[in-house]
């Protein structure tokens, strides 16, 4: 018999759903407060419309590389694609050696206003190969991943300043097969904070709370994670990042704690300010965390 989910996870899922509803109404509510040129697909932010020829688009800002999520949003009326080209994770926990490979992992974003965007993410194909170290039995699974829907709003800092803050609720729709996903609706909320520090350093802080499926399939439980990500422009076109990430999964069968040290680099060619190439590696800091994750990717604003 299934039991009702504990109160905290239900609050997280409910809060995510309510935040989706409220933030989805933000562009309509902003209609009276923002100039029409800042809203909707019919009036996208111009790429070069000032008398001096200065680009009117915000500098390209992505949620990659590394695990960090920035509070910045995509310009009104513009699309932005952010994707892994290849992504491989090596995990030695649970008595098995497991390799998970993502063959692209696209996130498509669209700017509803200059402070709100909507985002969809799905891995079109992934493979999971696991070899039990005791029985030496190898299992394989492959297929499409789960679908993630996100809505991000930049609540402060869009007009400049040294601190910006955002809110990003998300919902996971179980589109993956049972061997690739867990077949459950999950969700949560991220509250990204970005702080400009002296000497051109930038610090991103990402507190997050999620409602995840119980391992016993009898409800949901709370999951809390966060990170500190420090980035620095090593040249005019290349930015390097280093971060510490931690996660506490409070499953009723036992609490799981993970942590990693992550390194990444991004290159925006001087001749292509709407294009970014990046790559990185995430290194597990305890036995419960995947030993390494390696990826390369690309982002483009249209």
The CA-CA-CA angle for residues 99, 178, 282, to 5°, reads 30
Distance CA 268, CA 235 (A): 10
Distance CA 92, CA 102 (A): 18
Distance CA 37, CA 50 (A): 13
- Quick: pLDDT tens for 121-170: 999 999 999 999 999 999 999 999 999 999 999 999 877 789 999 999 99
- Quick: pLDDT tens for 81-108: 999 999 999 999 989 999 999 999 999 9
- Quick: pLDDT tens for 23-55: 445 444 344 333 333 333 334 555 544 444 444
Domains of the chain, residue spans = 7-33+62-301
Per-residue model confidence (pLDDT) at position 157: 86
pTM of the model: 0.83
Q: What is the CATH number of domain 7-33+62-301?
A: 2.40.160.40
Residues ≥6 apart with Cβ < 8 Å to 264: 64, 65, 66, 240, 241, 242, 243, 278, 279, 280, 281
- pLDDT interval class at 9 (50, 70, 90): low
Of residues 185, 182, 84, 173, the one with CA closest to residue 125: 84
Per-residue model confidence (pLDDT) at position 27: 44
- The token duo for 222 is 């709370």
C-alpha separations of 122 from 111, 176, 298 in Å:
19, 10, 15
Distance CA 113, CA 193 (A): 20
For the chain, how big is the Rg over CA atoms in Å? 20
Residue pair 103/86 in contact (Cβ under 8 Å)? The answer is: yes
Query: What average pLDDT does range 268-273 have in this prediction?
Result: 97
- The residues with which 255 forms a beta bridge, in sequence order, are 250
Q: Could you tell me what percent of the chain has a pLDDT over 70? A: 82
């Amino acid at each position: 018999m299934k039991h009702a989910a504990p109160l905290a996870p239900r609050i997280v899922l409910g809060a995510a759903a309510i935040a989706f509803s409220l933030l989805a109404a933000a562009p309509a509510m902003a209609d009276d407060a923002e100039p029409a040129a800042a809203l909707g697909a019919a009036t996208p932010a111009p790429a070069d419309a000032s008398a001096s020829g200065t680009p009117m688009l915000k500098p390209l800002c992505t949620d990659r590389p590394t695990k960090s999520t920035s509070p910045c949003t995509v310009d009104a009326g513009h699309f932005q694609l952010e994707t892994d080209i290849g992504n491989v994770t090596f995990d030695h926990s649970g008595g098995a050696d497991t390799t998970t490979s993502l063959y692209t992992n696209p996130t498509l974003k669209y700017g509803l206003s200059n402070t709100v965007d909507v985002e969809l993410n799905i891995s079109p194909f992934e493979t999971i190969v696991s070899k039990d170290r005791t029985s030496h039995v190898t299992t394989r699974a492959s297929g499409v991943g789960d679908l993630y829907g996100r809505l991000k709003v930049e609540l402060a800092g869009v007009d400049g300043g040294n601190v910006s803050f955002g809110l990003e609720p998300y919902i996971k729709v179980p589109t993956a097969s049972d061997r690739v996903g867990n077949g459950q609706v999950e969700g949560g909320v991220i509250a990204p904070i970005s702080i400009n520090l002296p000497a051109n350093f930038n610090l991103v802080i990402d507190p997050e709370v999620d409602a995840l499926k119980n391992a016993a399939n009898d409800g949901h439980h709370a999951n809390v994670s966060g990170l500190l990500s420090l980035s620095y422009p090593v040249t005019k076109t290349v930015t390097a990042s280093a971060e510490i990430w931690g996660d506490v999964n409070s499953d009723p069968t036992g609490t799981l704690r993970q942590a990693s040290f992550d390194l990444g680099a991004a290159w925006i060619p001087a001749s292509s300010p709407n294009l970014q190439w990046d790559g990185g590696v995430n290194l597990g800091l305890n036995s419960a965390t995947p030993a390494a994750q390696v990826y390369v990717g690309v982002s483009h604003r249209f």
